[in-house]
Amino acid sequence: MGSSSRIDLQDGSFIDWQIKPIKSDRWRPHGVRYRLAWIQDDQCRVLFDNHHGKKDHLHIDDREREYEFISIDQLWDDFFTEIRKLGGFV
């Protein structure tokens, strides 16, 4: 069973996330489907995800790049690091 939630932050932004174990496939050989999004001023500023048909990747504002998934703990650390780089409150 997976987890998901929304976390409202003091600065008015929020984090919307979902992490779910899945059967390994060619896009997610590690067996984890995830979406971690930081929304600020109605814009998705940071998004880490690996939806069907696409391997692990991240979006910072309008830029997309590959992401190397190591663990769920590392995923959260990397997500928070990107938010901090943009001046977000975490």
DSSP state, residue 73: H
**pLDDT tens for each residue of the chain, 90 residues long:** 567 799 999 999 999 999 999 999 999 999 999 999 999 999 999 999 999 889 999 999 989 999 999 999 999 999 999 999 999 975
Is 90 part of any domain?
Answer: no
What pLDDT score was predicted for residue 4? 74
Number of domains in the chain: 1
Is 61 part of any domain?
Answer: yes
DSSP state, residue 86: T
Is 21 part of any domain?
Answer: yes
* Distance in angstroms (rounded) separating the CA atoms of residues 32 and 21: 5
* Distance in angstroms (rounded) separating the CA atoms of residues 44 and 15: 10
Which range of residues forms the domain containing residue 36?
3-85
What pLDDT score was predicted for residue 14? 96
Element containing residue 47 per DSSP (H, E): strand 43-49
